[in-house]
């Protein structure tokens, strides 16, 4: 029994939501639109569509890629994100399993330190961590993955530990009685049950690592070939006073495309994962 | 079982613990110590007691200005984001067609990294201001509201998802009963729905609070503190103190410790809030 009045108000709401959706999409359409304009037309007439004179084809994309080496950066971003996430899911689930199942001063102390690290802002360890990374030769892509394993361990262990607690002990005991070693028990019995949490942890950590700017900027720096996407974008804008706006627009578009593809393909998991992370964290 | 697992503690915990020590534990302890020292690198520190802390709070360091800017930005963005997100969550739980598409679009900005977002919005805002022959860095007010706008754009969809989950958990019988008793939609909202989603409100308030307070990437990209460091937030101020000029590393570290203490205080308030809610339910 939907009344005429509520039907009418639903229409108003629908129009409002469409307008809001347009407002959300507009900044992305704005950079997409301008990425096809000649660089001198962008600031003069930023809101119109590119026409014959202002249309620059893919010039901005070519210029930007030559200037920044963004394709390399996309490659390194992928490498660092994937390896870090694999490290995190594998090692922190094992650690979480250990600290939940073994009751000792070592495991309790470890657990509380992980939880504590979640609260500490990055600025607190920024300087000292960079110099430590320097001394132990971690200023390279693989070193970055080790640092991310340590830096995101807090949240990941916390999420896994919360789930391990809810698994009944009997299953593991049965496996042990059947002669499984702890490693076999973990990978054969426990880890498959942890899969939903593993997906959540993977998504949360992947988003953090992929978008992170300061850690790669400080640790890997701007003068190596291992720059990640946010570092390249920052350099393109921050480096010279004479900015190529067209190239900037094109590079912003290229930086966003992988995220949109990732989002549209695993949307359900991403939304669920992010919400689960928010509620538990 | 616990005993057998205990013997495997190296395999289960060592990789995480080593990475955690490099990325967090050692840098954290060093950081606390160095905040009481004068140094330019980690190895040439000399003890100076509380001198860094005194310097951090003295004028000319911009720390208090940054604290003021951060606090007012945080208050404004927490209020606006949550009001907007809650309103949209209410609209999206009315079974309007296209709800799923709206959710997908609204949540998307949350996945894009702060640096890329910051420059996208900088270009947008400057395009609008171009007509008035000014830019975002000309006036601190532009920077402030630009940052609020950006933060809303990024976080409304995220908070909306949490509110939707909360609203969907409100038992329909309660709302039906209120209707039968003659409650207006407004009364139902205030007396039934809002009290039932208090836990979602707490989560969203603290998520927006800590995200706004610790903001760095967006601040760096959008204005980088301009004009005259008037739009500089705490995290950026600390970063500039460390890397902006030599000789102030100790002051930067002291500021980082103060920043850390404020963040921990916020987290403790959140914890007591959540605990007291749990008792009530």
Average pLDDT, chain A: 89
> What value does the mean pLDDT take over residues B144-151?
96
> What value does the mean pLDDT take over residues A244-255?
89
For A46-62, the pLDDT digits (tens) are 787 887 777 878 888 99
Query: Burial level of B39, CB count in 10 A (0-12/13-18/19+)?
Result: middle
Q: Would you say B157 and A267 are in contact if contact means Cβ atoms under 8 Å apart?
A: no
**Model ipTM value:** 0.91
The tokens for A25 are 């999409």
Q: Do B260 and A13 touch (CB under 8 A)?
A: no
Please state which of the ranges A117-121, A223-227, B74-78, B248-252 shows the lowest mean pLDDT. A223-227
Checking if the pLDDT of B239 tops 70, the result is: yes
Q: Residue A167 and residue A160: Cα distance in Å, rounded?
A: 11
Q: Do B28 and A125 touch (CB under 8 A)?
A: yes
Q: Do B22 and A128 touch (CB under 8 A)?
A: no
Average pLDDT, chain B: 91
Q: Would you say B163 and B86 are in contact if contact means Cβ atoms under 8 Å apart?
A: yes
Name which residue leads in pLDDT, A278 or A1: A278
Q: Give the one of B96, B220, B249 whose C-beta lies nearest to A14's C-beta.
A: B96
Q: What is the pLDDT of residue A239?
A: 55
The tokens for B168 are 């969907």
Q: What is the pLDDT of residue A54?
A: 77
Cβ contacts from A onto B, under 8 A: 273
- pTM of the predicted protein model: 0.92
Q: What is the pLDDT of residue A48?
A: 79
Q: What is the pLDDT of residue A51?
A: 79
Q: What is the pLDDT of residue B277?
A: 67
The tokens for A17 are 């939501």
The tokens for A133 are 């990374």
Q: What is the pLDDT of residue B270?
A: 84
For B22-67, the pLDDT digits (tens) are 999 999 999 999 999 998 888 888 899 899 999 999 877 889 999 9
CA distance A91 to chain B (A): 6
- In chain A, residues with a C-beta closer than 8 Å to the C-beta of B157 are 24
Checking if the pLDDT of A241 tops 60, the result is: no
Q: Do A99 and B13 touch (CB under 8 A)?
A: yes
Q: Would you say A266 and A206 are in contact if contact means Cβ atoms under 8 Å apart?
A: no
Q: What is the pLDDT of residue A223?
A: 79
Checking if the pLDDT of B281 tops 50, the result is: no
CA distance A260 to chain B (A): 8
Domains and CATH numbers, chain B: 65-280 (1.10.3720.10)
- Nearest C-alpha neighbor of A202 from the set A252, A139, A262, A256: A262
- Predicted confidence band at B75 (pLDDT cuts at 50, 70, 90)? very high
Domain ranges of chain A: 4-60, 69-239
The share of chain A scoring above pLDDT 70, in percent, equals: 96
Q: B31 CB contacts (<8 Å, ≥6 apart)?
A: A124, A125, A127, A128, B253, B256, B257
Please report where in the chains the tokens 């920077």 appear, as a residue.
B143
What is the CATH architecture of A69-239? Orthogonal Bundle (1.10)
At A3 the three-state DSSP class reads coil
Q: How long is chain B?
A: 281
Closest residue in A to B218 (Cα–Cα): A213
Checking if the pLDDT of B280 tops 60, the result is: no
Q: Do A182 and B5 touch (CB under 8 A)?
A: yes
The tokens for B273 are 């809030």
Q: Residue A217 and residue B221: Cα distance in Å, rounded?
A: 14
At A37 the three-state DSSP class reads strand
Please state which of the ranges A134-143, A184-193, B220-229, B269-278 shows the lowest mean pLDDT. B269-278
The share of chain B scoring above pLDDT 70, in percent, equals: 98
Checking if the pLDDT of A2 tops 60, the result is: no
Q: Residue A99 and residue A81: Cα distance in Å, rounded?
A: 26
Query: Burial level of B113, CB count in 10 A (0-12/13-18/19+)?
Result: buried
Q: Give the one of B12, B41, B91 whose C-beta lies nearest to A13's C-beta.
A: B91
The tokens for A23 are 């407002």
Q: What is the pLDDT of residue B279?
A: 52
- Predicted confidence band at B116 (pLDDT cuts at 50, 70, 90)? very high
Q: How far is CA A42 from CA A22, A67, B30, B35, B129, in A?
A: 21, 19, 48, 47, 13
Q: What is the pLDDT of residue A58?
A: 85
Q: What is the pLDDT of residue A268?
A: 87
Q: Do A127 and B2 touch (CB under 8 A)?
A: no
The tokens for A196 are 């939903």
> What value does the mean pLDDT take over residues B56-81?
92
Substitution target in B120, B131, B199, B206 with the highest count of A β-carbons within 10 Å is: B120
DSSP code at position B108 = G
Name which residue leads in pLDDT, A278 or B132: B132
> What value does the mean pLDDT take over residues A211-216?
95
């Amino acid at each position: 029994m939907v009344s005429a009045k509520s039907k009418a108000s639903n229409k108003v709401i629908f129009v409002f939501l469409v307008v809001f959706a347009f407002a959300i999409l507009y900044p992305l359409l704005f950079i997409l639109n301008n990425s096809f304009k000649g660089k001198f037309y962008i600031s003069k007439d930023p809101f119109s569509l590119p026409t014959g004179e202002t249309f620059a084809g893919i010039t901005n994309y070519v210029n930007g890629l030559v200037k920044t080496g963004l394709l390399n950066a996309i490659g390194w971003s992928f490498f660092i994100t994937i390896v870090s996430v694999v490290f995190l899911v594998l090692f922190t689930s094992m650690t979480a399993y250990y600290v939940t199942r073994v009751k000792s001063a070592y495991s309790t102390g470890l657990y509380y330190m992980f939880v504590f690290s979640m609260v500490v802002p990055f600025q607190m360890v920024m300087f000292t961590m960079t110099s430590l990374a320097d001394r132990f030769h971690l200023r390279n892509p693989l070193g970055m993955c080790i640092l991310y394993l340590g830096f995101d361990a807090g949240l990941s262990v916390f999420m896994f530990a919360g789930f391990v607690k809810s698994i009944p002990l009997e299953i593991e005991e049965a496996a042990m009685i059947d002669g499984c070693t702890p490693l076999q028990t973990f990978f054969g019995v426990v880890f498959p049950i942890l899969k939903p949490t593993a997906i959540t942890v993977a998504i949360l950590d992947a988003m953090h690592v992929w978008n992170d700017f300061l850690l790669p900027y400080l640790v890997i720096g701007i003068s190596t070939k291992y720059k990640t996407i946010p570092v390249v974008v920052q350099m393109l804008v921050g480096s010279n006073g004479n900015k190529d706006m067209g190239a900037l627009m094109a590079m912003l578009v290229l930086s966003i495309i992988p995220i949109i593809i990732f989002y549209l393909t695993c949307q359900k998991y991403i939304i669920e994962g992010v919400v689960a992370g928010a509620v538990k964290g | 079982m616990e005993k057998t697992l205990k013997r495997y503690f190296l395999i289960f915990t060592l990789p995480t613990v080593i990475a955690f020590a490099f990325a967090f534990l050692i840098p954290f302890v060093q950081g606390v110590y160095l905040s009481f020292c004068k140094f330019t690198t980690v190895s040439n520190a000399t003890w100076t007691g509380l001198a860094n802390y005194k310097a951090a709070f003295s004028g000319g360091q911009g720390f208090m200005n940054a604290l003021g800017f951060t606090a007012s930005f945080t208050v404004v963005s927490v209020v606006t984001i949550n009001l907007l997100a809650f309103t949209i969550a209410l609209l999206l739980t009315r079974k309007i067609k296209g709800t799923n598409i709206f959710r997908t679009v609204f949540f998307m900005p949350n996945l894009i990294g702060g640096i890329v977002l910051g420059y996208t919005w900088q270009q947008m805002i400057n395009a609008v201001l171009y007509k008035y022959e000014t830019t975002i860095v000309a006036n601190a007010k532009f920077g402030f509201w630009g940052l609020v706008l950006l933060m809303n754009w990024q976080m409304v969809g995220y908070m909306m998802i949490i509110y939707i989950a909360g609203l969907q958990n409100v038992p329909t019988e309660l709302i039906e009963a209120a209707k039968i008793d003659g409650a207006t939609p407004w009364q139902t909202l205030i007396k039934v729905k809002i009290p039932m989603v208090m836990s979602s409100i707490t989560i969203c308030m603290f998520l927006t609070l800590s995200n706004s307070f610790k903001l760095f990437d967006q601040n760096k990209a959008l204005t980088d503190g301009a004009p005259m460091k008037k739009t500089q937030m705490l995290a950026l101020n600390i970063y500039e103190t460390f890397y902006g000029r030599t000789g102030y590393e100790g002051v930067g570290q002291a500021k980082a410790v103060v920043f850390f203490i404020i963040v921990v205080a916020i987290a403790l308030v959140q914890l007591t809030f959540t605990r007291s809610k749990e008792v009530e339910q």
